[in-house]
């Protein structure tokens, strides 16, 4: 049985193995367990330096089909996309024709191409993972909405199950409410953060790409307000992106060098250590699917203070396992000050978050994927 993965995620070939973004590959390593061979159709680089968050596929029988990245954000990207698109579409069709199971990663440009061309293969087993915000009322790019319409129409996407985050009303019968895992069930939830008492240093954490959609500068503004209030704290940023330089400038202009640390990307072990020692995750994202960093922080009792995007209100039980706030640094500071005055509420919610996280382990995810594949 062959498993075809169509994704926009950029891959790297190094020392005979294929690497990509760690959280994505960890999930795909579970999907691929149930197939004898795997075909990956995606953009690929040869032998560039690996990022700390990139890991390798574990399957022994992988065939890689390289396609040009679909990039419509620059003139150069548009020209390259226009020239390479016919070849890419031909490769997709051939790969779909010769596989047993078509798997689409959406939303993304490759996902859109796959969602369109899969119509020509109505008898093939198909799954689509929509990793973005499925909320029908959310504002999203037109191409994202188009992918939602294509894959959620059982007459167009025949024999396909679509995995989405959250439970939404009035969905078609091929929509499956799903989740993603954080850790294995044997992973210790022991933390080593200092008690949230006056005199102990408050540890704050930002994890994610340093891009405008994640609002890292808003998190930095939280640090600026806390310093003006003379709170004893440290805010650690884990991630990289085009907002790194503006962040550095903000830290310098507001004399936050001792309070704010910019770590860049961390491997999984170092990131776990950050969760274990931090009291709060500051996460003011514009749009998410199932924000993995929120679930990971909760596993170790690091309490999320986050915007109510997508299925986050469900994850936080509308405030029983963390706090839902607007994109307002003053509101975040208000919640932090509340917990400094009411540490018993922090301890209670931190315990709740740990308990909830036990249901979303690698083992439970693998069991659900196996059921899904057998029933497509």
Residue 53's alpha-carbon distances to 16, 19, 21, 264, in angstroms, are 19, 10, 6, 10
Is residue 219 classed as helix, strand or coil in its secondary structure? helix
Mean pLDDT, range 165-183, rounded to an integer: 93
- pLDDT of res. 192: 95
- Indicate whether 190 pLDDT > 90: yes
**Residues in a beta bridge with 20:** 55
Instruction: Give the helix ranges, DSSP H, for 98-172.
Output: 109-117, 142-151
CATH superfamily of 202-357: Glycogen Phosphorylase B; (3.40.50.2000)
**Core vs surface per residue 230-254: b (16+ CB within 10 A) or e:** ebebbbbbbbbbebbeebeebbeeb
Q: To the nearest whole number, what is the mean pLDDT of the chain?
A: 95
Sort residue 231 into left (φ over 0), alpha (ψ -120 to 50) or beta: beta
Express as a percent the part of the chain with pLDDT over 90: 88
Taking CA 162 as the corner, what is the angle to CA 159 and CA 164, rounded to the nearest 5 degrees?
A: 170
Using 50, 70 and 90 to split pLDDT, how confident is the model at 145? very high
- Indicate whether 347 pLDDT > 90: yes
**CATH T-level assignment (fold) for domain 2-181+361-375:** Rossmann fold (3.40.50)
- pLDDT of res. 307: 96
- The domain locations on the chain are 2-181+361-375, 202-357
Cis upstream peptide for 271 (omega within 30°): no
Mean pLDDT, range 74-89, rounded to an integer: 83
- For the segment 5-55, what is each residue's pLDDT rounded down to a tens digit? 999 999 999 999 999 999 999 999 999 999 999 999 999 999 789 988 999
Q: In degrees to the nearest 10, what's the CA dihedral of 181, 184, 187, 189?
A: 30
- pLDDT of res. 139: 87
- Indicate whether 276 pLDDT > 80: yes
Taking CA 14 as the corner, what is the angle to CA 12 and CA 19, rounded to the nearest 5 degrees?
A: 40
- For the segment 314-336, what is each residue's pLDDT rounded down to a tens digit? 999 999 999 999 999 999 999 99
Instruction: Give the helix ranges, DSSP H, for the chain.
Output: 22-31, 75-97, 109-117, 142-151, 216-228, 244-253, 268-277, 292-299, 312-315, 329-341, 343-357, 362-375
- Indicate whether 73 pLDDT > 80: no
Answer with the residue of higher pLDDT: 70 or 85.
Answer: 85
- pLDDT of res. 302: 98
- Indicate whether 75 pLDDT > 90: no
- Taking a C-beta distance cutoff of 8 angstroms, is the pair 65, 91 a contact? yes
Q: Tokens at residue 341, please?
A: 């005055």
- Indicate whether 77 pLDDT > 80: no
- pLDDT of res. 137: 87
Distance CA 256, CA 261 (A): 9
- pLDDT of res. 197: 84
- Indicate whether 83 pLDDT > 90: no
- For the segment 106-115, what is each residue's pLDDT rounded down to a tens digit? 999 999 999 9
Residue 93's alpha-carbon distances to 46, 61, 166, in angstroms, are 24, 21, 31
Q: What is the pTM of this model?
A: 0.88
Using 50, 70 and 90 to split pLDDT, how confident is the model at 183? very high
* Strands 54-56 and 17-21, bridge-based pairing: antiparallel
Using 50, 70 and 90 to split pLDDT, how confident is the model at 138? confident
- pLDDT of res. 219: 98
- pLDDT of res. 3: 98
Half-sphere exposure at residue 141, Cβ-oriented, CA atoms within 13 angstroms: 9
- Taking a C-beta distance cutoff of 8 angstroms, is the pair 316, 322 a contact? yes
- Indicate whether 221 pLDDT > 80: yes
């Amino acid at each position: 049985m062959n498993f075809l993965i169509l994704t926009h995620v950029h891959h790297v070939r190094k020392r005979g193995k294929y690497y990509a973004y760690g959280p994505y590959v960890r999930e795909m390593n579970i999907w691929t367990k149930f197939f004898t061979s795997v075909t990956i159709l995606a953009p690929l680089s040869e032998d560039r330096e690996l990022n700390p968050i990139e890991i390798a596929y574990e399957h022994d029988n992988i065939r890689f089909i390289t396609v040009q990245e679909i990039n419509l954000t620059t003139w150069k990207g548009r020209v390259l996309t226009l020239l390479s698109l016919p070849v890419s579409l031909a490769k997709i069709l051939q790969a779909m024709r010769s596989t047993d199971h078509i798997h689409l990663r959406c939303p993304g440009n490759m996902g859109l191409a796959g969602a369109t061309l899969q119509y020509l293969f109505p008898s093939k087993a198909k799954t689509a993972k929509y990793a973005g915000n499925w909320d029908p009322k959310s504002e999203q790019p037109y191409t994202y909405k188009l992918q939602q319409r294509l894959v959620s129409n059982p007459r167009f996407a025949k024999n396909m199950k679509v995995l989405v985050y959250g439970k939404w009303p009035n969905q078609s019968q091929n929509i499956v409410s799903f989740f993603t895992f954080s850790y294995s069930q044997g992973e210790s939830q022991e933390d080593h953060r200092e008690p949230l008492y006056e005199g102990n240093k408050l540890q704050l954490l930002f994890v994610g790409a340093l891009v405008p959609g994640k609002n890292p500068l808003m998190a930095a503004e939280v640090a600026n307000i806390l310093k003006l209030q003379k709170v004893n704290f440290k805010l650690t940023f884990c991630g990289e992106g085009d907002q790194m330089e503006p962040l550095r400038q903000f830290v310098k202009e507001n004399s936050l060098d001792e309070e704010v640390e910019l770590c860049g990307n961390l491997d999984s072990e170092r990131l776990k250590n950050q969760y274990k020692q931090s009291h709060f995750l500051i996460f003011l994202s514009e749009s998410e699917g199932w924000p993995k960093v929120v679930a990971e922080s909760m596993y170790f009792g690091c309490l999320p203070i986050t915007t109510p995007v997508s299925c986050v209100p469900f994850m936080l039980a509308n405030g029983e396992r963390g706090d839902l706030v607007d994109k307002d640094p003053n509101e975040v500071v208000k919640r932090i000050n509340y917990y400094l005055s009411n540490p018993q509420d922090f301890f209670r919610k931190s315990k709740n978050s740990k308990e909830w996280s036990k249901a979303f382990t690698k083992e439970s995810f693998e069991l659900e994927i196996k059921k899904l594949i057998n029933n497509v």
